[in-house]
Each structure stands twice: as C-alpha cells, then as structure tokens.
A and B are shown apart, each in its own frame.
Chain A
Amino acid sequence: MTEREILTKKLSSYQFAVADMRLYLDTHPNDSETIKKMNEYTEKMNALKKTYEEKYGPLTKGGTTGSKWKWINSPWPWESEEVD
C-alpha cells in the first residue's frame, strides 16, 4: 500500500466506526454512552480528515484552499495506486 492508501484506510476505519454508531443511535437515541463514544471518534475522524486533505488534496469540494482548483486532480476513489 502507498502512504496515501494507509492514511485512507485509517481514516476509513474512524469514519466507519462513527457511521455505524450513528446508525445504531437511530434506533437507540437515548444511549448516552454511545453518543459519548461517537463524539470522541468524530473528533479523531475530523483530525485525520484534516491531515489527509493537507497532504493529498480535498475530499469534498469545500476542502479546496488556495487559488488552484485541486478537486479535479486529487485521486479518484475507484483507482488503485498499488496496481499502477
């Protein structure tokens, strides 16, 4: 795996944990323990997302900074770098 792919996977792990807890909370809205845990993981997820975007370009269109439109050049998710 490339360095970017390693970071992507780490970010995906946190995003997955957050998404799964959020879905669980839809049917358990009063589970305060899970809400606390979900908030902790969300913070970690956001920090990783920031690191990723600084290194490899925007994940969302809103993430573009500077005068160049980087959105078109950051890697497309269906391309695997490992293979190329």
Chain B
Amino acid sequence: MFVYEKKLQYPVNIKNPNPKLAKIVMSQLGGADGEIGAALRYLNQRYTMPLPELKATLTDIGVEELSHMEMVGAILYQLTKGMSEKDIKAAGIEDYSVDHTAGIYPQSAAGIPFSAAAIASKGDAITDLHEDLAAEQKARTTYDNILRLCDDPDVKDAIRFLREREVVHYQRFGENLRILTDKLDSKNFYAFNPEFDKKCFKNQMKKK
C-alpha cells in the first residue's frame, strides 16, 4: 500500500519557463532510462527476490523512484506553464503539442512513448540486480547529459539532486549483489539463477 504525501522529495522552483528544455528533460519521465521505468522495474522485480535485504531495497528504491517521477513531472509542468502558441512555435515543439497541448505525457525526448519493453524483470536475482546496477548508471548518464544541455540554475538544482540519487542507488544495489553472492554455494561458478534453483545457495547443493 502506498500513502501519498503532498510535497515533493526535493523542491522544484523554476522561474523561467523554457518549453524546449522541457522536451529534453522529458526523457527522464518516459524515456528508456526514466523514472517511470525505474519504479516499475524495481516494484515488479521485488516479489520473487530470495533475501529480505533485496526485497527491502527494491521496495524502498522503487517507491523513491515514484517520488522522482513526480519531481520530473513538476519540472516539465513549470517549464511549460502558461506557454502560448507563439512559445510553442518558438521552442519548436509543435510535434509534441499537436498531440498533448501543454499536458504532461511520458515519452522520450525523441517522442517514443514510454514502453515497458525498456525494463526487465527476469526472475533471476543475479540477472535482475545487474539490470538494476546498469539502469542506475544509464539514468545517471542521462542526467549528466541533461546538465550538459541545460543552463537554467533552477532546473540544474533539481536535476543534480536526482542524479545524486542514482549514484546512491547504484551503491545500494552493489551491496545487494554482494549480500546475495556471499550466500551462494561456491559450486555455482557460473552464477546460475539462485531465485528459481534454490540449490544454488550455500549448503543447498546436492551432496553426492
């Protein structure tokens, strides 16, 4: 169960609307490495995780990603707030606006709608944790690219916070992987699925 709190995880206060910048930032809402994908990836992977530390980490990070989705939404909203037809044309976002007007729609900067095809839930704890480590790095790279393309200090402030969380989550997932591999049987050389094949855990291998 989720309880909504009527505030952002970190404040977003943008003084200067900039619809063109919104189109770039949008990738972190609905793009392949965006916050919606992150939340769905972790919140769906967690059910079959074999250890309590892993279930807890995926739940907590998954929920935090929902807060990040809201922060990115707030950035997009404030960057496009009050824009006129003239602003839409000047920013060159007619292609977005013809479908969504000034509404917030989850898509990538290139206009590809959000797709669950961008995430994985493989049912193998080792595989999924590697996916999660990669996902955090991909999101961090995208935020680095946004910071490169953006010179608005208000937007940068919020983006820097989000970027920093990717770094922290990467650390936590790294610890998850270590906690898991420490518990695996040394005979599981090739890191086979410990989630489905329980005998991959220490002392669980069939004794001959």
Contacts and interface: CB of A to CB of B under 8 A. Distances in A.
Nearest to B178: A27
Interface residues of B, number: 30
Contact of B70 (A26, A74, A78): A78
B5 A60 contact: yes
A35 interface: no
Contacts of A19: 9, 60, 64
B6 interface: yes
Given A23-B172, A27-B176, A74-B6, A80 B14 contact: yes
A51 to B, nearest CB: 14
A82 B13 contact: yes
Interface residues of A, number: 30
A20 B168 contact: yes
A71 B5 CA distance: 11
Contacts of A58: 6
Contacts of B176: 27
Contacts of B172: 23-24, 26-27
B91 interface: no
B197 interface: no
A40 interface: no
A78 B61 contact: no
Contact of A77 (B3, B6, B168, B179): B6
Nearest to B13: A80
Contacts of B11: 5, 8-9, 12
Sorted from nearest, which 5 A-B pairs have the closest CB atoms? A78-B74, A27-B175, A26-B56, A80-B13, A26-B57
10 contacts: A8-B7, A22-B60, A23-B61, A26-B56, A27-B176, A27-B179, A71-B6, A77-B70, A82-B13, A83-B13
Interface of A: 1, 5, 8-9, 11-12, 15-16, 19-20, 22-24, 26-29, 58-61, 71, 74-78, 80, 82-83
